[in-house]
Amino acid sequence: MPAGTGTPKGRGVTRRALLRGAVVAAAAGSVGFAGGRFTAPPSAVPAWTAADMPSQAGRRAVVTGGNGYPQDGRSGLGYHEALGLARAGADVTIASRHQGRGEEAVRRIRAAAPGARVRFETLDLTDLASITAFVARMEDAGDRLDLLINNAGVQGRLEREETPEGLERVFATNARGPFVLSAGLRPLLQRGTAPRIVWTSSSRVGEIDFDDLQKVRSYDYGRAYDDTKLGALLMAFECQRRSTAGGWGIASLAVHPGVCRTSIVVDGPGLDTPEGFRFQYLPFMWQDAAVGALPALYAATSPMATGGAYYGPRDVQGLRGAPTYAPVPEAARDPDLARRYWETMEDLAGLSFS
């Protein structure tokens, strides 16, 4: 189902990561904004690991996804984010579609962090009714929320797939779903203590074609993913602008994990693809997901992390290592593009975030 009015596309940094040997940090420069203008970081992020995380005792957190417990040499970013937060004392809810995997992730986190306050809730980000029901359960479970990490995401498969509602699967999961969830949880977050929303982007981003957001006319599994990751940046920065203007008191931050050994390729395009070949035969390219989770954990917990900033790995052109400021692609700095993307999400969801 195409959306848009036929005005020009929003151009991003289009690339299939490493497929053509592109430089990942092609859009070097500004990494945050103030007063509507992007600004350079005040200083580099000091070396930071999960051991540097301040206590999260008393904080209530939601991590979407989070069911990728270690298996077959792979693990999920959200699992390590939930584990890190639980170890630091947060009350963590893992939210995903897969109940069996989610409950096993909870069991493993409790085994790794005795006394951890962690639970599982069912959430399908492609289904508006599921999101609404999840938000209602979170409201019933407590009167506030301090942290939302929009971690869950998928890569496209070789053929275009639609949700029962008729949305392209990657767009529904990676773009509209986190937007609707964040909108629904905003009242709880506004009652939280120093609340934050963390949006997960990627070291590779695409472009926004408002005439074909659903990839009906032209589908490519890589573009489907890349375009939603530019969308994540646009939503993160627009959320911060609106929070500042509206006095929401919510810090909105963006992160990317670099290149990590997760199941996203296996569950997406598969091993019989260029990405799958590299995943199988070039293992040195892929860092452990526990390290890839560090930018999100830094953004979620560090007193030095600020709303409107973008964090990613510091080494190998942003592919691996400890967190630091990440370069912002040119298109993500465009407030008009971000505003239009935000309003398109509102239209597709039938809601007003603001």
Please give the positions annotated as active site. Answer: 225
**How far, in Å, CA of 277 to CA of 23, rounded?**
20
Distance, CA of 58 to CA of 91 (rounded, Å): 7
Beta bridge partners of 183: none
341: amino acid identity, one letter? Y
64, 125 in Cβ contact below 8 A? yes
Q: At which residue do the structure tokens 């935000």 appear?
A: 342
Paired strand residues for 62? 93, 148
Q: Give the integer Cα–Cα distance in Å for 168 and 163.
A: 6
Specify the length of the chain in residues: 354
Backbone angles phi, psi at 339, to 5 degrees: -65, -45
Q: What is the DSSP letter of 293?
A: T
Contact status, residue 205 vs residue 19, Cβ threshold 8 Å? no
**Cβ atoms of residues 30 and 330 within 8 Å:** no
Question: Which sign does the torsion angle of CA 271, 315, 92, 64 carry?
Answer: negative
Mapping DSSP onto H, E and C, the string for 190-234 reads HCCCCCEEEEECCCCCCCECCCCCCCCCCCCHHHHHHHHHHHHHH
| Pick from 253, 250, 259, 260: nearest CA to 328 | 253
Q: How many CB atoms lie within 10 A of CB 97?
A: 18
For residue 253, the cross-strand partners are: 198
Whole-angstrom Cα distance, residue 55 to residue 78? 19
